[in-house]
């Protein structure tokens, strides 16, 4: 009888071990699932970071391409007379007033009608357009009595030995600056990945 009792006792001691082994498997599975979610989250974060970095690079490239439009607009302005700049030239993307309601985001950028296409593709996939506004209140001559233009605060500057001075230069020479208003050049750049950028420059 004593031997039979000892066998039953041994069987009773072994049962909790099988239960503990089952719990370990469950814990291991939960840990593996948690690790899988963590890895997926890390991959998603890395992919998003790469996408953001790429978009920023395209944005920076598009903004740099805006210089092409500004330079072409400047060259066009230099080739015009004051009389020509007194009136609108919509086909050349030029307006003789400051257009207080002008908004680059809602403006109708139609090349050849009210804007100029500087390039269809600058080699990096950027399309550049520009429009010019003379910062004056009304169309017409810069010297009209009712005209109000934004212009440099001083049209005469003094300098020493300036190449533009009168009387051969020297101390106190006067630099003659042709009276002219400021002009606002706005460039619109359409780049890869639906990149859209605007650049504005004020010059005279």
H runs (alpha helix) in the chain: 2-78
Flag whether 96 is in a domain.
Answer: yes
Flag whether 89 is in a domain.
Answer: yes
Dump the DSSP string for 94-106: EESS--TT--TTT
Checking DSSP bridges between strand 94-95 and strand 127-134, what pairing results, if any? parallel
Flag whether 51 is in a domain.
Answer: no
pLDDT 10s digits, 61-94: 778 888 999 999 999 999 999 899 999 999 999 9
Tell me the sheet residues that pair with 111: 115
Flag whether 49 is in a domain.
Answer: no
Q: Is the pLDDT of residue 38 over 60?
A: yes
Flag whether 50 is in a domain.
Answer: no
Q: What is the pLDDT of residue 156?
A: 46
Supply the range of the domain harboring residue 118.
56-203
Measured distance CA(93)–CA(117) in Å, rounded = 9
Q: Do residue 80 and residue 24 come from a single domain? A: no
pLDDT 10s digits, 138-154: 999 988 999 999 988 75
The domain total for the chain is 2
Q: Do residue 26 and residue 67 come from a single domain? A: no
Measured distance CA(133)–CA(136) in Å, rounded = 8
pLDDT 10s digits, 147-196: 999 988 755 444 443 333 334 444 555 555 566 899 999 999 998 878 88
H-helix or E-strand spanning residue 140: none
């Amino acid at each position: 009888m004593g031997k039979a009792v000892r066998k039953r006792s041994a069987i009773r001691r072994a049962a909790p071990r099988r239960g503990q082994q089952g719990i370990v498997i469950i814990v291991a599975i939960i840990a593996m699932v948690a690790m899988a979610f963590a890895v997926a989250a890390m991959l998603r974060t890395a992919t998003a970071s790469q996408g953001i970095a790429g978009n920023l690079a395209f944005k920076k490239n598009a903004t740099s391409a805006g210089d092409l439009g500004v330079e072409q607009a400047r060259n066009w302005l230099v080739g015009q007379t004051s009389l020509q700049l007194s009136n609108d030239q919509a086909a050349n993307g030029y307006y003789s007033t400051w257009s207080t309601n002008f908004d680059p985001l809602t403006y109708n950028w139609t090349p050849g009608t009210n804007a100029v296409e500087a390039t269809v593709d600058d080699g990096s996939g950027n399309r550049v357009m520009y429009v010019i506004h003379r910062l004056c209140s009304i169309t017409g001559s810069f010297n009209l009595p009712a005209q109000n233009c934004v212009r440099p605060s001083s049209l005469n500057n003094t300098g020493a030995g300036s190449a533009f001075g009168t009387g051969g230069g020297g101390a106190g020479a006067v630099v003659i600056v042709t009276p002219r208003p400021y002009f606002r050049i706005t460039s619109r750049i359409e780049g890869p990945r639906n990149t859209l950028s605007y650049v504005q420059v004020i010059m005279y």
